[in-house]
Structure formats: C-alpha cells, structure tokens
Structure 1
C-alpha cells in the first residue's frame, strides 16, 4: 500500500506543478494579487493581476472571490507542492517501517506519524479516480 500511495501522491504533485508552471508562463508571473476599484455605488471591478499589473482575470466580480483566487497563484501552489514533496521524501525514508500497530521504538513511531501525515495530505485528491479509500485516515 505505501509504495502505491507514494506513487499516487507524487503523480498528483507533478500534475499540480505542471499546471502552476503553465499558468506562470501564460501570465508572465508566479505572484498574483487581487485588485479592485469601485465603478458604481454597489458595483466593483474585481480582477486578478500579475506583476507588473498585467490582468490575469478582468471583469466584474466579487471582491472576496478575486481575493481567494489570487491566493491560488503559481508561487503559492508551487510552495505547497514543495512542502508536500519534502514530507513525502521524509516518509519514503522510513516507509518500510510503517505499520498499523505503532511500536514504541522511535523509528516506527516516526514512520507511522509520517504515514498518517501523508494520508492526510493525499486527502485533497480524494475525488481523483486513482485515489483509494484505504488511504483515508
């Protein structure tokens, strides 16, 4: 199970990184931010821009939606992916010691703890067709 879970999570991270890099290349920047201006009494022009003030998305929209979307910029996505990859590398180093029954020895405790962490990080891909319910923590 552990080798399959590691391979599954690596594949999802690679997919996410590829999409983030494509967005970065398409917009010319990895850092996006929300920008808006009031255009009428109860109407705002909300947009997402990349440096230097190049619109990623332009149009009338909700400020909170634009703010949320801007926080999904390639830089943040790639940083999240790197954190997941670091966690995965730590787990891979001790995955052969992972067991359902935690042993009192440190190495087994570390392996079980990292295994649980990897399972939780994989949850964000639970709707993927290759995700297995046995990985659900």
Structure 2
C-alpha cells in the first residue's frame, strides 16, 4: 500500500512540476498593479510578471491578488518542497522506528488528499 501511495504521489508531483514548467517564464514572479483603464479605481487590478508580461487584464483586486499569489515561481518551490518531504518520509519509513514510520505514513496520506479526485487515487488513502 505505501509503495503504491509513494508512486502515486511522485507521479502527481511530477505532473504538477510539468504544468508549471510548460511556460517558458516559469521562474517568474507575478505581482498586482492597478488597472490601467482607471488607475484611481482601487477595486480593479491586473497581474504582471517580473518580466512585465501581462498575465491578466483588468480584474477585481481580490482575484488579482489570488492569481499573483500562485505565480509559477512559488508553485515550483511548492512542488519541490513536497518532493523533498516525500523523500524524507521514505527515509523515516526505512528507519523502522514505529513512531517515525507512523508519522511518515500519515504525512503521505495527508499529501495525497488534494489528489482525491484523480482516477488513480485509492479509497484506502482517505483520512
């Protein structure tokens, strides 16, 4: 069961990384700017990359903040952190120390939850 879960997570993390890297500007950070249509309207904004590319046109400021928050650079760091956590869990399971093994398995199950809608997700991984 654990080997299947590790393989499943590794595949999902690889997919997530591919989605982020598909854009040649994947390392870019995004930020919000006031909308150009009416720079005095604080309820509207746009999102631009660190290279100056327009990511969104004029949208409501909360939506712009949400989009900018999940820029490609941040998402890549997130995927890499999850990949490192997966490796750490594998190491802890190999330790044979019951408490660490339990913690590692629980962490793997928790990391699988965002993928519960994936076809390969197994019901036994549900918390």
CA root-mean-square deviation = 2.3
Write out per-residue CA displacement over residues 6-54 of structure 1, whole angstroms, 9 at most, x where no aligned residue.
011111101110111113x1x4742111222371876854221111322
Contact kept? 1:47, 1:57, Cα under 8 Å? yes
Q: Which moved more, 1:66-75 or 1:86-95?
A: 86-95
Aligned to 2:22: 22
Contact kept? 1:94, 1:111, Cα under 8 Å? yes
- Label 1:49 to 1:29 Cα distance change in 2 as closer, same or farther (>3 A): farther
The answer to whether residue 107 in structure 2 is matched with residue 117 in structure 1 is yes
Q: Whole-Å Cα distance in 2 between the matches of residues 117 and 95 of structure 1?
A: 11
Q: Whole-Å Cα distance in 2 between the matches of residues 109 and 40 of structure 1?
A: 56
Q: How many residues align?
A: 126
- Label 1:121 to 1:70 Cα distance change in 2 as closer, same or farther (>3 A): same
Q: Which residue among 65, 73, 76 is the counterpart of 1:78?
A: 76
* 1:34-45 pair list within 5 angstroms: 34-37=32-35, 39=38, 44-45=43-44
Aligned to 1:104: none
Relative contact order (C-alpha < 8 Å, sep 6+): which is higher?
Answer: 2
Aligned to 1:9: 9
- Residue segments in structure 2 that go unaligned for 5+ positions in a row: none
- Residue segments in structure 1 that go unaligned for 5+ positions in a row: 99-106
Aligned to 2:59: 61
Contact kept? 1:2, 1:95, Cα under 8 Å? no
- Label 1:78 to 1:72 Cα distance change in 2 as closer, same or farther (>3 A): same
SS of the residue 1:130 aligns to: coil
Contact kept? 1:28, 1:50, Cα under 8 Å? no
Shift of 1:94: 3.6
